[in-house]
Each structure stands twice: as structure tokens, then as C-alpha cells.
Structure 1
Amino acid sequence: MTTRSTHRTPPRVLVLGATGKTGRRVVARLRELGVETRAASRSGEVRFDWTLPDTWEPALAGADALYLIAPDDVAAVAAVVLTEDAHAGRTYELSGPRALTFAEATGIIARAAGRPIRYEELTPQAYRAELLAQGWAEADADALGAMFALHRAGHSAEVTDGVRQVLGREAADLEPWARRIAATGVWA
């Protein structure tokens, strides 16, 4: 999350990934607060596509704050950080209350869903090949592969207190969220 202005009230916020699971929550919370919010995505109100640089500048025009792409805690933090001057220019590292591997997170979701779900880690080469087969540009596939290499090496495993710093409460755990989502039947 990045903020550029420290004095405009309320800011004009551009939310990237606004049609995604977290982005749409951020948009909803900001709009509930009365913040002028532009929802950007490949197919959203404002067209923004990382693979089409000519969409970047028009989407960013007039934005005072920008939300760069997780669920309720991240949306709540984003809404506060993007609208309160005390957070301007600050960076918050956000995490859940405990570090989880992808396999552990998959196990939590499988238990909540009441059915077997298996996590299968691809080799970096296989992952890159899948991205390229889906039409990703080589540079983008390499960048995403580099990000996941950092995850695999444990560089993103540290539990942080960013949610507590901004919201004054502990971060929500994945298990209650998974049970709540499973109860909707979406994973049945």
C-alpha cells in the first residue's frame, strides 16, 4: 500500500485488483467510509492491466493513494491506511497470527471443507512453463517465479504486527475464516 498525499481529506483512492477477493472488500469498505474510490482491474470500472502499460497512466490519473493488491484484515487495514493522515508514507508488513506453509494452509482449507484437497508444489521450471503456456510474458513469469522463490526460501514467513499497529487488534487466523467460507458451500 502506498500513499502519496498527507493532507487531502478525503483522498481519492485507486484500488488495483478491485474485482478480486480482497480488492472488492477494500473498495466496499472505502466506499462505506465515503471515500472517492476507483475500482481498477482488467475488467473493472477503471481498466488496469499489468501486461498493458498503456493502461497504467490513465488508471493512476488523479489518484492520491493506491492499494496494491488478502482478505478481511487486509481490507480493513487498507481502508484505514488509505484514509487517515497518520499513516501517510508509512509501510506496514501484514501477516496472519502464525506462519503457514502452502501445504499447511491447504490442510486447513481441506479440513474446513470436509474433503480432501492436496497441495502440489511445482518446480520453478514447471511453474514457469505453466505460466508461459497460459500466455504470460517471459518477464512476468520470471518475476512471479522470483517472488515465489523468496516464499519457498522462507523470506516471507515472519509473523508481523502490522494489523495490530493499524487496527489495534490481532490479525485473524486462517482457520475461522476457512470454516466461515466452507459453510457457504463454495468448496463443496
Structure 2
Amino acid sequence: MTRHDSDRSKPVLVTGGTGKTGRRLAERLTNAGVPVRIGSRGAAIPFDWENPSTWDAALDGVEAAYVAYYPDLAVPGAAETVEAFSRLAVKMGVTRLVLLSGRGEVGAERAEELFRRSGAEWTILRADWFFQNFSEAFFLDAIRAGELALPVGDVREPFVDADDIADVAFAALTEKGHERKLYTLTGPRLMSFPEMVHEIGAACGRDIRFTRIPVGAFVEGARNEGLDEPLVDLMRELFTEVLDGRNESVADGVEQALGRPPVDFSDYVRRTVATGVWNTAPAADTI
């Protein structure tokens, strides 16, 4: 496997380098001998999407970059921020840019449009919901507690493995042939939230329930947990607009990019059960 432009002395900037896909991508690059610069607020060279004054130092000397905007491309202003960052990257000599985008989000599609105009050799990864939402964030505490309550019914989504996304991102950053391509990344089948929760519970040997709740109750619960209002608005949009059936189809982006099928949810569940992460239920109150 050859690095694009064959220069392994220059680092790849991985924004969101401590997140689900960024962390996995950074590990793959490091294992392949590619220098990595983690783009996060706590990194040696701090990077903050909300503070453009940090961008120059993070991009200095970089050959390629993985662009994972936080918290989500659906939030107002995200597309313009990604455009400004991408143009600066090209101005500073970055030749390859890989954007992590969201499927079925109007804001994400706007960001993709502006991203293509950056002047770099771009690749766009348009991903569905991650399997890892059940084991690394968002839904983990609820799964451990035995009940996941969301304002969604039987709509079915082709959730995708974050490892598949990282594999495609790695290929796009280190191999030729992925320039100016948009890969829609999904898992191999459609599943509803109740079906996924049932499969996790069965694999764990636990009674884990799914409960549909009103949007208002969900939003109030998010606020009570301390989520900032922009994140609350984002969650409301995801569960009331994006999860309306618009994404009820599988795509072959993983196979296009890697020449293999995507990981199935059952394989992810078996792999994750072995870690024991779902068997740590919150401690019961004692008197």
C-alpha cells in the first residue's frame, strides 16, 4: 500500500482524532507508519472547530486531512465552517481532504457541496448511524440500565460499523483511486431500534427493553442530563426529521472502496459482547 504522493514524512491531520472514527483512523495510520497529528482541543497542537485561530498551526506542514466536524454537519453554520477550513487547508499546501458526512441531512449535503469547491483532491464518506452508538456513547448507559427509550418507532436504518468507516478513510488517505468520489457507507441490512436492542439483549443474556417515548419527553430528558441547547436541537432534528424513513435503503460504498462487504450488526454484537461492556449495569441504590 502506497501513500498518496509517496511522502511519509508529512503528517495527516485527523480532526476529531479522539472520536469514534478518528481514533480508529489514527491507529491505522500509525500502524502503517504514517505520521499522525491529532486534531482536538487537548492535543499537543490544539485544534478547535469553534476557534479558527487554531487552524493554521494544526495544518502547518500537513499533507492530508480527515475532516470530521463536531458536533454534526447538520448544525447551523457547519457547512460554512468546513468550507473555510478546507480552503485554508488547500492554501497551506494540503493536497488530500476526506470529509465524514451524514446521510439524509440537508446541512451535510450543503457541506459536501462547499467541500467539493475547496480545490483539494477530495473524498466524501457519507455515513449512516454507527453501531458503536450502542457501546461507546449515546445509548450505552441505557443499554446497561436495561431500557433504551427514544422518540422513534419501527423505522429501519442500515447502521454501519465505525471500523468500516475508518478502513475506507484510511484507504482514501493512503491509496490512489479514491479522488473525487463520494462513498455512501452503510451496513449490509436494515434494522429497527427495537430489533437491535433485542439482539443485544439476547446476546448478553439480559432483558433489555426498547420503549418509544414522545419527542418532548426525550428533549426534556436530554436537557436534564446537561446537554447544551445546540446538541438538544440536533438530537431533536435527528429523531424527528432524519429518522423518517428517508434512509431505508442499503448502499454499497464499503464494497466500492474496499472490495469487501460491510460488517454485519450481528458480527459487531458478538465482538462487543466479548468485551463485557454491556454487562456493567448501574449499581442499585442501597439503604
Task: Please give the range of the TM-score, normalised by the shorter of the 2 chains.
Answer: 0.7 to 0.9
1:28 is aligned to: 27
* TM-score under structure 1 length normalisation: 0.78
The change in CA–CA distance for 1:114 and 1:21 in structure 2 (over 3 A counts) is farther
Contact 1:67–1:78 (8 Å) recurs in 2? no
Number of residue equivalences: 181
More strand by share: 2
Contact 1:113–1:179 (8 Å) recurs in 2? no
Identical counterparts, % of pairs: 37
The change in CA–CA distance for 1:20 and 1:114 in structure 2 (over 3 A counts) is farther
Moved over 6 A (4+): none
Alignment of 1:1-188 (within 5 A): 9=7, 12-41=11-40, 43=42, 47-48=46-47, 53-54=50-51, 57-58=54-55, 61-62=59-60, 63=62, 64-68=64-68, 70=130, 71-188=162-279
Contact 2:46–2:54 (8 Å) recurs in 1? no
| CA distance in 1 between partners of 2:214 and 2:47 (Å) | 30
The change in CA–CA distance for 1:137 and 1:56 in structure 2 (over 3 A counts) is farther
- Which secondary structure does the structure 2 equivalent of 1:127 belong to? helix
Contact 2:25–2:167 (8 Å) recurs in 1? yes
Contact 2:47–2:54 (8 Å) recurs in 1? no
Contact 2:39–2:58 (8 Å) recurs in 1? no
Unpaired runs of 5+ in structure 1? 1-5
| CA distance in 2 between partners of 1:114 and 1:41 (Å) | 38
* TM-score under structure 2 length normalisation: 0.54
Compute the RMSD of aligned alpha carbons.
Answer: 2.8
Contact 1:109–1:178 (8 Å) recurs in 2? yes
| CA distance in 2 between partners of 1:111 and 1:47 (Å) | 43
Q: Deviations over 1:26-47 (max 9, x none)?
A: 1111111222222234555554
| CA distance in 1 between partners of 2:224 and 2:53 (Å) | 25
State the Cα distance separating 1:170 from its structure 2 match. Answer: 0.6
| CA distance in 1 between partners of 2:218 and 2:41 (Å) | 23
* More contact order relative to length (CA 8 Å, sep ≥ 6): 1
State the Cα distance separating 1:126 from its structure 2 match. Answer: 2.6
Unpaired runs of 5+ in structure 2? 69-99, 101-129, 131-161, 280-287
Q: Which amino acid in 2 is paired with 1:144?
A: M
In our comparison, the structure showing a higher alpha carbon Rg is: 2
